[in-house]
Amino acid sequence: MKKNRKNPMKIIISVILGIIFAIIAIIFIKNTFTNKGEIYSNNGLTITMDEGFYKKDSEFAAIYYESIDVTLTGVKEYYENLESFDINKDSPLDDYAELISYANEKDYDYKNLNDKTLYYTYEETINDKNYFNMVAITKGSDSFWIITLCCETKNKEEYIPKFEKWLNTIEVE
């Protein structure tokens, strides 16, 4: 009668490989379900986005962040500067949205992201590169904010859900 003996080396290798795969699976699951991103805060606006953005100075925006594939700009329009357009701290976000459309001579198709944020999207070509933009507006205690997230159009399907997720985290003073 022949005993069925397994090679001890095969057993050890199988156990080690099993442990390695289990560790990889745990790391993947942890990163997939617990990655809450990084909090970026500047000039009264806070947003949570993926890690890897760095702050840059801009003379045109109150905030400017950039990563390898995405830029975020935030323009702050103080209520006192909008009074000549009959916009003030008591004006609803819809009135400010109409003013933006009027000023840019465009009929933007605003969508409600949540109860405090409206947004629209558009594409543009700059220096032979195509870009996708998601522009959100929200209201703070002393100003309206225009927040623009931008990526190359070829990456928009990847970034649309991320942009919406990030914009849902915005808090303004």
Burial 23-50 (b: 16+ CB within 10 A, else e): eeeeeeeeeeeeeebeebeeebbebbbe
Which residues are CB-neighbours of 22 under 8 A, at least 6 positions away? none
* Mean pLDDT rounded to a whole number for the chain: 90
pTM of the model: 0.79
CB 91 within 8 A of CB 112: no
127 — pLDDT class (breaks 50, 70, 90): very high
The domain 37-172 having CATH identifier 3.40.50.720: the answer here is no
CB 166, CB 47: distance < 8 Å = yes
List the domain boundaries for the chain. Answer: 7-36, 37-172
Q: How far apart are CA 101 and CA 74, in angstroms?
A: 17
Write the DSSP symbol of residue 6: P
Tokens of 22: 């289990």
- Contact criterion met (CB below 8 Å) for 133 and 148: yes
What pLDDT was estimated at residue 95? 97
Q: What's the pLDDT at 146?
A: 98
- Alpha-carbon gap, residue 100 to 146, rounded angstroms: 10
- Classify the C-alpha dihedral 40-156-135-131 as positive or negative: positive
Percent of the chain with pLDDT over 70: 89
| Number of Cβ within a 10 Å radius of residue 103 | 9
